[in-house]
A and B are shown apart, each in its own frame.
Chain A
Amino acid sequence: MKIIRKELKFYWTMIKPLQTGLLLLTGITGFISSRCSVINFVKLSGLTLSLFLTIAGTTILNMVFDHDIDLKMLRTMRRPIPSGKVKVKEALLMGTIMCLVGLILAFMLSLLYGILIFAGILFDILVYTILLKRKTSWSIFWGGISGAMPILAGRTLGTGSIDTIGIMFALSILLWIPTHIMTFNMLYFNDYKNAGIPTFPSKYGFKNTRMVIALSSIGASIAIGIGITALGLSWGYLRLLAILSAGLLGLAIMSVLKPSEKINFGLFKYASLYMLIAMLLTTIGSVS
């Protein structure tokens, strides 16, 4: 029992619960925003379970394929695989099973939903992690596409087709992800350098990276704003979103004009909080 609990604890850290939780929330938000099947708890439960399994499974597989780089980085060297607490083969098996079960469930729910989830896994593991991450700093774009899949898939499951609102929501996540990754690239610059991972700051410099983060944050807020407006939420929700967007814009400008590690990290935290609140507003606004 003790061993199982210990193993579960390792796997809990390997699925990056906060990141998985936020991506799961985007998927649920996408589904609820369709306003068609909110009371269909079977569908909602199926979506939640399939998304959780595929997101968590993909995160574990990323750790499997990146364990050699993780070992070279101070920030990640204590993760379960590089520190030897979990064997590579075991994690590979666990990640694959989670992804497969999640995928089967996804295809059982809807063909289009299943295809989108499969595309998300493919972009993340094959295109981002295996093919591009060690070769180009632009790999994050592909990582962003994969991160945008849960919300698009969730909405598609609800509406039955890919629509403009779903694409806008997906675009907002796609633009939000660089702010997340590039902030880490700057904070742990030497780590990435030692591991030989090409990043935006190492290729284009800190100043340009800050500018990209600022523009990307603004783009994300515009995309989510368009999505929520098109969704037809009441003015109250739009007002609150406009307020939060103004805060994001202000911080983005500050990070370019008065750059510092604190402002950068603050922008990253604010952008994450912004996305979380935007998702909650969309969910509450859609059911109220």
Chain B
Amino acid sequence: MSKISIPDRILLFLTALVSGYYVINGLEKYQGIVTLYFTIAFGILIITAIFLTIFSFEILKEPVIVVMATFIPLALSLGLIYKYLQEYHLLYLFFSMGGLLSILITRYLAPKRVATLALIIVHGISGIIIFLLPIIIYTKGISSFYFLLVGVGGGLISLGGILLSTLRFTKPILAAEKINALLPKLLFLASLGFVIGLSLE
């Protein structure tokens, strides 16, 4: 595993800073449960950025980190669902809990392929929700154009999650070094997309 370069450290620092700013100043406008979901999503984004800075990419080998990272798209999509499609919230909450549980169980007890599949499914579905929901909301005229940036962020974070999960394949989509080089950029752009999009929605 390669070490984190200085520019990547700066990007990770900015990721934590941008997310931290939103946690302090941006969440007051939401209802209690949405605040909770977004706090979890941005909180884990912050902790992931700090952990990566401290431990470098080696931390990604820890199963607990993989499980933890899944909370980012899940919590964000849960918040969006609650805000815009409240009637589906409970259903999606059950899916999220089931998804998390399956990732947790397969990570420790099932063969690598099954664990990766579980991860890709959960990351994929939550990523699609974060990507598509802002587009639908925008086309219906409910939100501003900037809200589309949340979708871009969702796409980027899911891409990161899926790329990382393929590292467990014998032939990953991209080499580990390339994925590691991409990850800080993806995290930063995703956090920027989320914060700008949600602030100006």
Contact = CB atoms under 8 A, between A and B. Distances in A.
Interface stretch (B44-52, B82-90, B113-121, B142-150): B44-52
B25 A236 contact: yes
B55 A244 contact: no
A254 B63 CA distance: 12
Contacts of A250: 47, 64, 68
Interface in A224-271: 234-237, 239-240, 242-244, 246-247, 250, 254, 262, 266, 269-270
Contacts of A234: 24
A interface majority secondary structure: helix
A254 B68 CA distance: 13
A240 B47 CA distance: 11
Contacts of B28: 235-236
Nearest to B40: A243
Interface in A193-247: 234-237, 239-240, 242-244, 246-247
B23 interface: yes
Contacts of B58: 262
A112 B17 CA distance: 37
B27 A273 contact: no
Interface residues of A, number: 18
B20 interface: yes
B interface majority secondary structure: helix
A236 B27 contact: yes
B43 interface: yes
27 contacts: A234-B24, A236-B23, A236-B25, A236-B27, A236-B28, A237-B24, A239-B39, A239-B43, A240-B23, A240-B24, A240-B46, A242-B39, A243-B23, A243-B43, A243-B46, A243-B47, A244-B46, A246-B43, A246-B47, A247-B50, A247-B51, A254-B62, A254-B64, A262-B55, A262-B58, A266-B51, A266-B55
Given A235-B28, A239-B27, 5 more contacts: A243-B39, A244-B47, A250-B47, A250-B64, A254-B64
Interface of A: 234-237, 239-240, 242-244, 246-247, 250, 254, 262, 266, 269-270, 273
9 nearest interchain CB pairs? A236-B24, A243-B43, A247-B47, A240-B23, A266-B54, A269-B54, A239-B23, A266-B55, A239-B39
